[in-house]
């Protein structure tokens, strides 16, 4: 296990304290909603415990429900016990939670009423007086996407987004950012009338995952990978985000969305960008985001022949019988919404031309796992008698995003004995073996980064638009020709057979979908 010296520890401490957020007030729109109780509050609580919030910090919870500050605090105190994974089963740290609760104030209002925003302005001004003049405000839009534009417009009209005397005003916008290219472009245009790009923090929660952030460190802080990271050495890449959950209670939303919109231009593309983008000239937000945008712009238009859609029927997931998608609440009995998608993508640039990137994601699959597998080319010729090159196990570098975060490299080794017999083995690194787990719900870094003004992990307008643009042709093609073979995979399986054919066509195979990480051989 690696330890850091006292000097290094002091340097880290210095850097962190230098990056302590300045005093601020956070205003949460949707204070009574699910996101607030499941993720935002637990993330703030974890930030308090990690001593990452400024002393002068306040929260204004804003929603349309009539409730008092006391009632809001009490409700959240109840839900905190469920959602703050302060080390599973661990009791809440009462001191940290009361620190936060004491700074929380509730305000009822209607997102469509201008008076509400005037009133919010007064509240913020009072807060500013109480906090020795702190005028920094983070507005968090934890509301349904139809409110993003209207709320920002109201904030603008009330003068609440104006930055003056060094004070900042920032807005966090949740997913989904548009439902296609045109709506994303229109939403950007609408909010950019009020805010400048550097005030907007568009969230993709996959970027809050430690292991996703670590991809860039793996690639650019180590000398050994980058020389191999190109078409000369990489055969293909597989990106998988498999879920065991079904659509749950989200039928109404999901019917309009489907797996392609829900997961691909956002979460899966973020993984794709991390793995395939060119090295940025620095880790400044704009340098990183420019490289991501370039990558999305280099994506070859996706042909429907390179895409597979699926919908789950009844089946057994993790030992439990589950119903088909069409039987879920608020789902049409003849729904043609896809709950699974697999794609073959090509990147038209010098590094990746000709290297396929296979992406797949689906609900109610056999295991929950998100991972990226970079499969390297085979050795050029068979040096070993009786072991043809195509039978040598492939070298695969697997980045496990969740669960069981880590990395493994599979390669060939000689089986002990007088004969030269070759077998595939794994070299494995698991985060948990080296680092103590941090209490995290995945939003801590995102909120903290917004407070310190680091937008690296957030989406820029052009990045979001380039991502939608890359899938727009396929969205249109699928809308023109609804699927006729749904349901086409059983819940609890690895997805539709057509997805296997997509790779078999190229003489390749998906790696098995498994929650544990030893891959062994591809599923033939
Ligand atoms: C959300 C999607 O953005 O991401 C969900 O809307 C999906 O459908 C979820 O289940 C996956 O996120 P995670 O962090 O659970 O892998």
What is the pLDDT, as a whole number, of residue 358? 98
Instruction: State the catalytic residues.
Output: 267
Distance 360 CA to ligand 1 centre (A): 14
Q: Quick one: pLDDT at residue 390?
A: 61
The residue whose CA is least distant from atom 2 of ligand 1 is: 262
- Tell me which residue has its CA closest to atom 8 in ligand 1: 262
DSSP character string of 252-272: HHHHHHHHHHHHIIIIIHHHH
Residue 257 CA: which ligand 1 atom is closest?
6
Cβ(317)–Cβ(367) under 8 Å?
Answer: no
Centre of ligand 1 from the C-alpha of residue 363, in Å: 10
- CB count within 10 Å of CB 365 equals 28
Contact between 43 and 59 under an 8 Å Cβ cutoff? The reply is no
Atom 4 in ligand 1: which residue has the minimum CA distance? 263
Q: Rounded distance, CA 46 to CA 440, Å? A: 7
Residue pLDDT tens, the chain, 524 long = 333 344 444 444 444 444 789 999 999 999 999 999 999 999 999 999 999 999 999 999 999 999 999 999 999 998 888 776 544 567 889 999 999 999 999 999 998 899 999 999 999 999 888 877 779 999 999 999 999 999 999 999 999 999 988 899 999 999 999 999 999 999 999 999 999 999 999 999 999 988 898 999 999 999 999 999 999 999 999 999 999 999 999 999 999 999 999 999 999 999 999 999 999 999 899 999 999 999 999 999 999 999 999 999 999 999 999 999 999 999 999 999 999 999 999 999 999 999 999 999 999 999 999 999 999 998 776 666 566 656 678 899 999 998 888 999 998 888 888 877 788 889 999 988 998 877 788 899 999 999 999 999 999 999 999 999 999 999 999 999 999 999 999 999 999 999 999 999 999 999 999 877 554 444 33
- 368: CA distance to ligand 1 center in Å? 11
> What's the pLDDT score for residue 383?
67
pLDDT given at position 417: 85
Residue 385: per-residue pLDDT: 59
Query: What DSSP string runs through 429-472?
Result: EEHHHHSPPPP--S-HHHHHHHHHT--TTSB-HHHHHHHHHHHH
Q: How many angstroms separate the CA atoms of 364 and 351, rounded?
A: 35
By most ligand atoms within 8 Å of CB, the mutation choice from 243, 269, 270, 339 for ligand 1 is: 243
* Res 256: pLDDT: 95
Distance 245 CA to ligand 1 centre (A): 10
Ligand 1: residue whose CA is nearest its atom 6: 262
Distance, in Å, from the CA atom of 412 to the CA atom of 142, rounded to the nearest integer, reads: 49
Of ligand 1's listed atoms, the one at least distance from the Cα of 402 is 16
Distance CA(73)–CA(68), nearest Å, equals 9
- pTM attached to this predicted model: 0.92
Q: ω before 487 within 30° of 0 (cis)?
A: yes
Residue 394 Cα, ligand 1 centroid: separation in angstroms? 31
Contacts (Cβ under 8 Å, ≥6 apart) of 223: none
Question: What residue owns the CA closest to ligand 1's atom 12?
Answer: 206
Q: Which residues of 20-39 are buried (b: 16+ CB within 10 A; e: fewer)?
A: ebebbbbbbbbbbbebbbbb
First to last CA, the chain: 38
> Hey, what are 428's tokens?
């494995």
Distance CA 524, CA 521 (A): 8
Test site for ligand 1: of 43, 205, 212, most ligand atoms within 8 A of the Cβ: 205
- Of 444, 446, 442, 458, give the one whose Cα is nearest residue 403: 442
**Maximum alpha-carbon separation in the chain:** 85
Measured from CB, residues less than 6 Å from any atom of ligand 1 are 175, 243, 262, 370
Q: Which of 239, 265, 267, 338 to mutate to test the pocket of ligand 1 (most atoms within 8 A of CB)?
A: 267
Q: Which atom of ligand 1 is least distant from the CA of 266?
A: 3
State the distance from the centre of ligand 1 to the C-alpha of 447, rounded, in angstroms. Answer: 18
User: For a substitution probing ligand 1, which of 262, 340, 364 has the most ligand atoms within 8 Å of its CB?
Assistant: 262
User: Rounded to the nearest whole angstrom, what is the distance from the C-alpha of residue 519 to the centroid of ligand 1?
Assistant: 24
pLDDT in the model for residue 128 = 86
Q: Which of 505, 469, 479 is nearest to 302 (CA)?
A: 469
CA pair distance 377, 480, nearest whole angstrom = 38
């Amino acid at each position: 296990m690696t330890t850091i010296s006292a000097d290094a520890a002091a340097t880290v401490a210095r850097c962190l304290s230098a990056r302590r957020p300045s005093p601020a007030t956070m205003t949460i729109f949707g204070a009574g909603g699910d996101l607030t109780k499941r993720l935002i509050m637990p993330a703030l609580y974890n930030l308090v415990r990690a001593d990452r919030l400024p002393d002068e910090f306040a929260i204004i919870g804003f929603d349309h429900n009539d409730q008092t500050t006391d009632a809001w605090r009490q409700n959240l105190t109840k839900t905190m016990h469920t959602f703050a994974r302060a080390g599973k089963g661990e009791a809440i740290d009462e001191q940290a939670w009361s620190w936060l609760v004491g700074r929380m104030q509730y305000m009822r209002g209607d997102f469509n009423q201008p008076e509400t925003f005037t009133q919010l302005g007064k509240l913020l001004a009072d807060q500013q007086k109480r906090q020795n003049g702190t005028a920094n405000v983070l507005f968090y839009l934890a509301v349904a996407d139809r409110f993003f534009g209207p709320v920002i417009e109201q904030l603008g009209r009330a003068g609440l987004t104006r930055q003056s005397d060094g004070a900042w005003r920032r807005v966090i916008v949740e997913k989904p950012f548009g439902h296609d290219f045109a709506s994303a472009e229109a939403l950007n245009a609408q909010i950019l009338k009020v805010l400048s790009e550097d005030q907007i923090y568009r969230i993709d929660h996959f970027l809050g995952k430690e292991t996703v952030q670590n991809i860039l460190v793996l690639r650019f802080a180590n000398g050994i990978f980058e020389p191999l990271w190109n078409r000369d050495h990489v055969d293909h890449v597989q990106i998988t985000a498999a879920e065991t959950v079904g659509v749950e209670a989200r039928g109404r939303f999901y019917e309009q969305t489907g797996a392609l919109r829900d997961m691909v231009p956002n979460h899966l593309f973020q993984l794709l960008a991390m793995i395939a983008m060119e090295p940025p000239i620095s880790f400044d937000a704009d340098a990183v985001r420019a490289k991501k945008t370039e990558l999305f712009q280099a994506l070859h238009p996706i042909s429907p022949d390179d895409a597979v859609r699926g919908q789950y029927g009844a089946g057994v997931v993790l030992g439990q019988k589950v119903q088909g998608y069409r039987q879920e609440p608020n789902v049409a009995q003849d729904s043609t919404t896809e709950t699974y998608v697999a794609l073959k993508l090509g990147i038209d640039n010098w590094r990746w031309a000709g290297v396929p990137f296979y992406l797949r994601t689906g609900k109610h699959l056999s295991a929950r796992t998100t991972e990226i597998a970079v499969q390297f080319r085979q050795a050029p010729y068979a040096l070993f008698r009786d072991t043809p090159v195509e039978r040598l196990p492939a070298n695969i570098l697997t980045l496990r995003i969740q669960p069981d975060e880590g990395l493994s490299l599979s390669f060939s080794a000689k089986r002990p004995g007088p004969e030269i017999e070759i077998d595939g083995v794994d070299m494995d690194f698991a985060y948990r073996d080296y680092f103590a787990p941090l209490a995290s719900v995945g939003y801590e870094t995102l909120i903290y980064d917004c407070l310190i003004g680091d937008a690296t992990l957030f989406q820029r307008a052009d990045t979001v638009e380039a991502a939608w643009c890359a899938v727009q042709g396929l969205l249109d093609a699928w809308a023109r020709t609804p699927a006729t073979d749904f349901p086409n995979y059983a819940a609890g399986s690895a997805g539709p057979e057509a997805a296997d054919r997509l790779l078999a066509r190229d003489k390749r195979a998906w790696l098995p979908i498994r929650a544990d990480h030893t891959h062994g051989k591809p599923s033939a």
